[in-house]
Structure 1
Amino acid sequence: MHSKLPRSTVDISKMASVTVANLHVKCRNSPYPRTSDIQRYPVPDDKVSWNLSWPEYHPVAYTAPGISKKPWADPDNHDGKYKAIQFNKIDGILDRTSFMGQYKFSTDGLPLNPCGRTGITGRGVLGRWGPNHAADPIVTRWKIDNSGSRCLNKTTGRPILQFVSIRRKDSGQWAIPGGMVDAGENYTSTLKREFSEEALNSTTASPKELEAIVKRVDDAFHHGVEIYKGYVDDPRNTDNAWMETVAVNFHDEVGNCLALFPLTAGDDADAVRWTDINSDLQLYASHRDFIKLVAELRNAQW
């Protein structure tokens, strides 16, 4: 359904250098998302790695109230059912493997964030212990002027690319319209579903409207380029639960397909728009880094 990005076009390792080598940052900030009083234990840059001994480390324990009772969530670690979880494997219809390789465990038997300490243990607001898989569809088009020509940056002469962005209800931040991979769902299905729900408001569509949306998205999302696959510096991450994603670019080169979609915010989004891509973008989690890779891929203005 979508192809991996050729190394000769954009070096995927650049993305890893942003999220791993330069340390995760957003998941060390306080307060913890959707709370006003949960403060992370301060973790300086030189203490992030688990390879460094830090006896004084006393992270705050927090799992959102009621999270374990959600139908899509894992049991609490004190629940007897926790021991039945098959980590680092395909556990029934759940993929508990990590793009970062085999993850390790704490002395309490909890998965350890492969990118280091975050100042908080437990799951926070995340449903799964260990990796929580998501998919992010990056839908792009060229910015066109009134004459039908591509708009160029006045300084660099590079064409300006636009992408579909949504404003998240939970944080108020602009983001790529992505979301969690449901149990038993493949990434391609998630990419289509999340874009339809958040950017086309498919959740409130009539059966006839929904059928049209599904067909249109199926046709448009037939060819995509994998931009990134791995760990995400997400503010929801904890020492024991973290976000990983597959980001795929679906580009409308001519402007006669994706570019004409009737955007309507829905589900977890309260606004949606075509946004110009440039280096001033401020986006949720690692989304700015994904967008930069797309700009490099398309040789567009950044």
Structure 2
Amino acid sequence: MGEYKIVDGYPQNPIGRTGIVGRGVLGRWGPNHAADPIVTRWKRLDSGDIETDSSNKPILQFVAIRRRDSGEWALPGGMVDPGEKVATAALREFQEEALNSFAMTNDEKSAVLQRFNTFFSQADEVYKGYVDDWRNTDNAWMETVAFNFHDEPGTTVGMLKLHAGDDAVGVRWVDITPDLQLYASHGSIIREVYKRHISKPATNKHVRSL
């Protein structure tokens, strides 16, 4: 968000007052930086063809996790560590929350990283800036960078078994629909991703399930 004001020694929320003074439950005063990976694929029938909705539009899916703190479905994102690149944080958070990398052996982690290297190097930045979050206060707030990683043929991440881990108690592929309800401002970010993909023709390739 750029520069923000300091008043009486405290950073001021650049969007305005929230009604809550102090740092609240956030880890840092001022901006708290997060990374949100949006991993998408086309929903496919058993035949391998892309499934369409009642309007004959291809159905786009994304990986969602159920948050441990609120029970809401959300993007598998998290906080960026000091000195960490945002894109690196996005990959780390996806592995921790959607694949439960903490439970993997070193060999399993190496195999996943090898498979992901090319896929996660092709990121489309969808959003960068302030996000509406229940944890925001007058003096501490959330900012995020959201990246879309799209598996067009569905043969990379699209075929992996998902396992909830870290701050997640559930994980699944979710259809993007007009009535989709998600945690905080994640819904508006997902709608932007959907708009970008639906404007381009999907590649209706047949894929083989593993």
> Residue in 2 aligned with 1:289?
188
Map 1:81-160; keep pairs closer than 5 Å: 100-106=1-7, 108-154=8-54, 156-160=55-59
- Whether 1:185 aligns to 2:84 is yes
Identity across aligned pairs (percent)?
60
Match of 1:270 among 169, 192, 197: 169
Q: For residues 96 and 143 of structure 2, what CA distance do their matches in structure 1 show?
A: 20
Q: What one-letter code is carried by the residue in structure 2 that aligns with 1:216?
A: R
**RMSD value over aligned CA atoms?**
1.1
> Residue in 1 aligned with 2:105?
206
Larger radius of gyration: 1
Q: For residues 112 and 152 of structure 2, what CA distance do their matches in structure 1 show?
A: 21
Match of 1:238 among 118, 137, 146: 137
- Whether 1:298 aligns to 2:208 is no
Q: For residues 162 and 132 of structure 2, what CA distance do their matches in structure 1 show?
A: 28
Q: What one-letter code is carried by the residue in structure 1 that aligns with 2:187?
A: R
> Residue in 2 aligned with 1:220?
119
Q: What one-letter code is carried by the residue in structure 1 that aligns with 2:5?
A: K
Q: For residues 167 and 101 of structure 2, what CA distance do their matches in structure 1 show?
A: 12
Deviations 1:222-277 (A, max 9, x none): 10100000001011110000000000100011111120121100000011000000
The answer to whether the Cα contact below 8 Å between 1:163 and 1:275 also exists between their aligned partners in 2 is yes
Structure 2: 5+ residue stretches without partners? 200-210
Q: For residues 153 and 203 of structure 1, what CA distance do their matches in structure 2 show?
A: 37
> Residue in 1 aligned with 2:202?
none
Q: For residues 48 and 116 of structure 2, what CA distance do their matches in structure 1 show?
A: 25
Map 1:242-253; keep pairs closer than 5 Å: 242-253=141-152
1:163 deviates by 0.2
Q: For residues 196 and 113 of structure 1, what CA distance do their matches in structure 2 show?
A: 31
Secondary structure of the equivalent of 1:120?
coil
